Structure 1
Amino acid sequence: MFGKIHEVYSSISGEGISQGIPTVFIRFAGCSLRCGKTETRALWCDTAYALGPNQGEEKSLETVWNELVTLDSHHGYQVLLTGGEPLEGKNRDLSVAIAKRIYEHRMNFGRPYPAPRVETNGSEQITDDSFFVFTMDYKLPGSGMEDRMNQENFRILEKRHNSLDEIKFVVRDRIDFDRSIEVIREQKIQTNILYSPVHGEVDAKELVEWIKVDNPPKCRLSLQIHKVLWGNQKGV
């Protein structure tokens, strides 16, 4: 079993409800979405360097497991599967396999963070498996990718009823924010909600004011503290 891996490294979680937790990142290569790119606006993806499948190295389950153990020999870090897109194509099979192994090992030995967190782009179907925790993007109109969103994921999140799952809205403008409110109401979302501004296109303080007025349930502003600490460096 193999998947395309761009990098494996340790740092802290930079955003969301797990922000600040020591984390091993397993970054997959390859994503079919191209968020934000229009004739007049630029691609906004933070990890454009991992969008193509050829930007990763084919690695086996055993290779990835050994890299994880090297970085976290005591199995005490959160593990985060990200991308690229960890649920796309054959990356999905490797994501399932590595998550199962981590979950079973940590449950057997009473280690923290047994279920790896998966950052997924919203186009791939998530699962009801207990060995995953999900941060699921919902792409708003400003991304140009809303028509690629898998609406069934809302039902799966509702069924999972996992207090650690989260839905992330990346907001480009007021149109995006208003659409997020519509989605929350239409889908009756009860999962944790993250709001993140597109850097350079909407001021985070302005987004805060919008959030204060509508106050969606279980919502929070999510800024990327890894960028505050290290800028746009890779592997941090």
Structure 2
Amino acid sequence: MNYPVNEIFETIQGEGAKTGVPSIFIRLQGCPVGCSWCDTKHTWELNDNEKVSVENIINISNASSMWAELDEISLLARLKHYSAKHVVITGGEPCLYDLRPLTETLNKNGYTSQIETSGTFEIFTDNSTYVTVSPKVGMKGGFKVLQSAINRADEIKHPIATEQHIEDLKALLKLRNSLDDVCVCLQPISQKPRATELAIHHCIKNNWRLSVQMHKYLSID
């Protein structure tokens, strides 16, 4: 399976339940969801004329829309240059692609894997992969969050700024068969004070977890 890779870099996971875990990020190119607050809009379009060699996307974080095509074996070889053993597959929207070949390869070779998805596309991944669904409701692309994605999630990390976002989350949680085995996180959009206050209030009220995008506060990738 060939994947359009926008960048590969090593850092600390800054969001959700795995905050603080040393991680290798594989960012895939392409996303039709259209979140207005997206901080990686350069990954939205997959243009053939921006395909480059892999050397142009390794450890380069310059908000470029360039991408390189790599299969799971080539990606595995690249990961051996890093120390971290946890791999986060993000985007863009990584579930545009069948992630089973990649996640199965990672998990068979001593890595743990995690994907971060909007939940608007079917999730095809290894059973042991940790799935973070950050549900995107009412976005420009017009895609609906899938019940199958909500049920597959190990973690539901919901971006919020208003009370309506809380209501949207509660409606999505009703789609899930059980809430006993899922971590629910609230993530304030753009670290705005009002959104943060709202998130803290509802985390305490509902016994949810706060996700504050630590990497942005620390000014790291």
How many Å separate the matches in 2 of 1:188 and 1:201? 34
Alignment CA distance shift 1:182-1:98 (3 Å): closer
Give secondary structure in 2 for the equivalent of 1:14.
coil
Measured against aligned partners, the alpha-carbon deviations of 1:78-122 in whole angstroms (never above 9, x if no partner) come to 11100011120xx32xx322211111122xxxxxxx430011111
Measured against aligned partners, the alpha-carbon deviations of 1:135-175 in whole angstroms (never above 9, x if no partner) come to 0122234x456752112223445xxxxxxx10111113111
How many Å separate the matches in 2 of 1:99 and 1:179? 30
Alignment CA distance shift 1:17-1:189 (3 Å): same
Alignment CA distance shift 1:25-1:169 (3 Å): same
What does residue 14 of structure 2 align with?
A: 14
2:184 is the counterpart of 1:180: no
Q: Per-residue deviation at 1:181?
A: 2.2
2:157 is the counterpart of 1:168: yes
Give secondary structure in 1 for the equivalent of 2:16.
coil
2:87 is the counterpart of 1:79: yes
How many Å separate the matches in 1 of 2:125 and 2:2? 23
The more displaced of 115-124 and 185-194 is 185-194
2:125 is the counterpart of 1:117: no
> Where in structure 1 are there 5+ consecutive unaligned residues?
36-42, 107-113, 158-164
2:46 is the counterpart of 1:53: yes
Q: Per-residue deviation at 1:60?
A: 2.6
What does residue 161 of structure 1 align with?
A: none
The answer to whether the Cα contact below 8 Å between 1:139 and 1:145 also exists between their aligned partners in 2 is no
How many Å separate the matches in 1 of 2:125 and 2:103? 13
- Give the TM-score, by structure 1 length: 0.76
- The alignment of Structure 1 onto Structure 2 pairs a total of residues equal to 200
Alignment CA distance shift 1:119-1:229 (3 Å): same
How many Å separate the matches in 2 of 1:156 and 1:80? 17
2:209 is the counterpart of 1:207: no
1:1-236 pair list within 5 angstroms: 1-35=1-35, 43-54=36-47, 55=65, 56-72=67-83, 76-88=84-96, 91-92=97-98, 95-106=99-110, 114-127=111-124, 129-141=126-138, 143=139, 147-157=143-153, 165-185=154-174, 187=176, 189-190=178-179, 191-199=182-190, 200=192, 202-213=194-205, 215-216=206-207, 219-230=208-219, 236=221
The answer to whether the Cα contact below 8 Å between 1:139 and 1:146 also exists between their aligned partners in 2 is no
> Where in structure 2 are there 5+ consecutive unaligned residues?
48-64
- Give the TM-score, by structure 2 length: 0.81
Q: Per-residue deviation at 1:129?
A: 3.4
Measured against aligned partners, the alpha-carbon deviations of 1:27-69 in whole angstroms (never above 9, x if no partner) come to 101011001xxxxxxx201211212123222223333122111
Identical aligned pairs, as a percentage?
24
The answer to whether the Cα contact below 8 Å between 2:151 and 2:175 also exists between their aligned partners in 1 is no
